[in-house]
Amino acid sequence: EGALYVVATPIGNLEDISARALRLLGEADLIAAEDTRHSARLLDHFGIRGPLMSLHEHNEASRIDTMVARIEQGQNIALISDAGTPLISDPGYRLVQALRERGSRVVPVPGPCALVTALSAAGLPSQPFTFRGFVSAKAQARLEELERSVRSVGTQIFYESPHRIRAFLEALESLVPERRVVLARELTKTFETFLDGTPPELLARIEEDPNQARGEFVVLVEGAPALEGQQEHVDIEAEALLEALQAEGV
Ligand code: SAM
């Protein structure tokens, strides 16, 4: 029996590919890639010529049986996505789940991941943290998701596209205008920047320098103060007690 190797690839800087990733990609009987044309360029750069098969959101379910059969026949398949670690806001979960259920071998080959890269250098508490991935592209749903998220204790981590970064910050501004937010942009690339400030401060920065709204983003939002939730609870209880005492005429 073969195995599925879940292989992380660079999120920008090609030097970030691991020696193990290169060896396993070179040895694989098949490389399953989100976008075969995009991955062909990456593999070409490293002189790897394994056969490619597409595996994306829309065909993942229908490809599972083929992949499982190939692995049962002894083939080794490498799964890669366009950038970073597969399954992290990328396809692959259903395939991995199906293989695990059958007791097949699934081997992680770790490497770049934008959320971990951002968290490791943002200067916000790195524990606990919650990874939220992409929030909805629809304004109302996005606001509701963010509203729930900013009530959590611990750093909240989001992925966002350049088209929606302003709308995202505006939503945050309406919910938590004083919270610290870090925009981690173009990680590992030439124009890597970390912008740190409150939502209105960051919106002003983008306004004065529109280049700051270009490229790829991880947004990190400071968590809710640990005691805020509990303090509110204590206040409500104290108030209820006071009212009860007053009603008793104490
Ligand atoms: N699987 C990837 C990973 O391991 O991070 C993430 C894939 S997701 C489809 C793409 C999103 O990840 C981008 O929209 C952006 O939010 C984030 N991202 C990827 N590369 C990045 C980079 N170099 N700098 C900042 N964010 C990045």
For 77-98, write each residue's pLDDT tens digit.
999 999 999 999 999 999 999 9
| Protein residues with CB under 6 Å of any ligand 1 atom | 11-12, 81, 83-85, 88-90, 113-115, 159-161, 184, 186-189, 216-218
What's the per-residue H, E or C state across 5-44? EEECECCCCHHHCCHHHHHHHHHCCEEEECCHHHHHHHHH
Q: Quick check: 239 pLDDT over 80? A: no
**3-class DSSP state for residue 137?**
coil
Average pLDDT of span 162-189: 97
pLDDT at 233 over 60: no
SS3 content of the chain, % helix, strand, coil (to 5): 45, 20, 35
How does pLDDT run across 52-72, given as a tens digit for each residue? 999 998 999 899 999 999 999
Closest ligand 1 atom to Cα of 12:
23
Percent above pLDDT 70 for the chain: 95
Q: Cβ-count burial of 12 within 10 angstroms (0-12 exposed, 13-18 middle, 19+ buried)? A: buried
Structure-block tokens of residue 220: 């990190």
Among 35, 80, 216, which residue has the most ligand 1 atoms within 8 Å of its CB, making it the best to mutate?
216
Least Cα distance to 219 among 88, 131, 151 occurs for 131
**If you measure from the C-alpha of residue 64 to the centroid of ligand 1, how many angstroms do you get, rounded to a whole number?**
25
Per this entry, what is the length of the chain?
250
76 C-alpha vs ligand 1 centroid, how far in Å?
A: 27
Backbone angles phi, psi at 83, to 5 degrees: -160, 145
**Centroid of ligand 1 to alpha carbon of 85 (angstroms):** 9
Q: Write out the two tokens for 37.
A: 């044309």
For ligand 1, atom 11: residue with the closest CA: 159
Closest atom of ligand 1 to CA, residue 159:
16
Residue whose token pair is 């709308």: 167
Query: What local confidence, expressed as pLDDT, does residue 236 receive?
Result: 61
Give the span between the Cα atoms of 34 and 80, in whole angstroms. Answer: 7
CA of 23 to the centre of ligand 1 (A): 24
| 37-41, 200-204, 238-242: the lowest-pLDDT one | 238-242
In this structure, which residue's CA is closest to atom 16 in ligand 1?
A: 159
Q: Can you tell me which residue has the tokens 């939502």?
A: 199
pLDDT band at 226 (very low <50, low <70, confident <90, very high): confident
Ligand 1, residue 113: give the atom nearest the CA: 4
Tell me the pLDDT band of 9, cut-offs 50, 70 and 90: very high
Mean pLDDT (whole number) for 125-144: 97
Report the separation in Å between the CA atom of 133 and the middle of ligand 1, taken as the mean of its atom positions. Answer: 9
Kindly report the protein residue whose alpha carbon is nearest to atom 8 of ligand 1.
89
- Predicted TM-score of the model (pTM): 0.90
